[in-house]
Amino acid sequence: MGIVLALEQTLNGIQLGVMLFLMAAGLTLVFGIMNLVNLAHGSFYMVGAFVASTFVVMTGDFIAGVVIAVVITGLVAVAIELGLLRFIYTRTHLDHVMITIGLIFIFDEMTRIIWGVVPVSLPIPKYLSGFVELLPGVRYPTYRLTVLIVGIMVALALYLAISHTRVGMWVRAGASDRPMALALGVNVPKVFSIVFAVGGALAGLAGIMAGPIVAVQVGMGEPVLVLALVVMVIGGVGSFRGAFIAALMVGIVDTFGRVLLPPAIGSMVIFIFMAAVLAWRPTGLFSAHA
């Protein structure tokens, strides 16, 4: 592999990694703070992409369509949390799995009813089309580079919000010791709703950013959910920092694995990587809430 191709594939891996982080961050926050296994998280990824496609075409403004879609996806997540998931927090993880799998089927069927079975397009705006010359002889798609930068900026903003704001302090308190947080006057149910809304919006943003690269179609969230679960397990369940580092590692490993290895092995390489990490550190790279 030449140096130019290696650099391009590295950037592709990082770009995939930041999108996986947006998915895994929501899963990690929800599980680490609410102790909820939400397998319907990939459905928010799909909803974000479909809603963005509709509003980008409707308004003709890509940025406006993205903002509207992120807000709507967050509101859908809040509605699901308030209307259903809030009542199952104290039940077993098996119940969480069964109920959220049911939500996947509901989301998929509702999407078919609203948008149909034919994949829809999410066009790249003209100002993000074309290429950027990073180095002499190294040209990289402008849109993919934008996705990479936006993903890193969102990850940094999320880290600062969790680590250096009052709401972040409430989130950390609820994650560390829920009864004590309640005793100190923290409105834990409200914090849970905020966390779930942010997690859903992040998944929706990931779907929006992936929309112009992959097909926007029913069921598009399930394969990404599997990758996000791999990221969460490798990084350490409940670890925000672990989710970010693991997402970049998985993105790069998956990208190079598919380029360098035969297809049958390339599709399994991230699971082999996960098994190797867990053999070394059974609890993942970082402890919970690290």
Interval 146-162: pLDDT, tens: 999 999 999 899 888 88
Percent residues over pLDDT 90 in the chain: 57
Rg (CA), the chain: 19
pLDDT in the model for residue 146: 93
CA atoms within 13 A on the CB side of 192: 20
Share of the chain above pLDDT 70, in %: 95
- The pTM score is 0.92
- Mean pLDDT, residues 124-137 taken together: 86
Q: How confident is the model at residue 215 (pLDDT cuts 50, 70, 90)?
A: confident
Instruction: For 53-65, write each residue's pLDDT tens digit.
Output: 999 989 889 999 9
pLDDT at 176: 66
- 151 in Cβ contact with 203 (< 8 Å): no
pLDDT at position 168 is 77
Which range of 20-34, 72-86, 150-164, 261-275 scores highest in mean pLDDT? It is: 72-86
Contact present, 285 and 242 (Cβ < 8 Å): yes
d(CA 182, CA 138): 54
Residue 16 has pLDDT above 90, yes or no: yes
Higher pLDDT, 176 or 109: 109
In the predicted structure, residue 289 carries a pLDDT above the cut 60: no
Please say if the pLDDT value at position 164 is more than 70: yes
Alpha carbon distances (Å) from 67 to 52, 56, 145, 164, 192 = 8, 10, 19, 25, 23
How many Cβ atoms from other residues are within 10 Å of residue 76's Cβ? Answer: 20
Q: Label residue 195 by pLDDT band (50, 70, 90).
A: confident
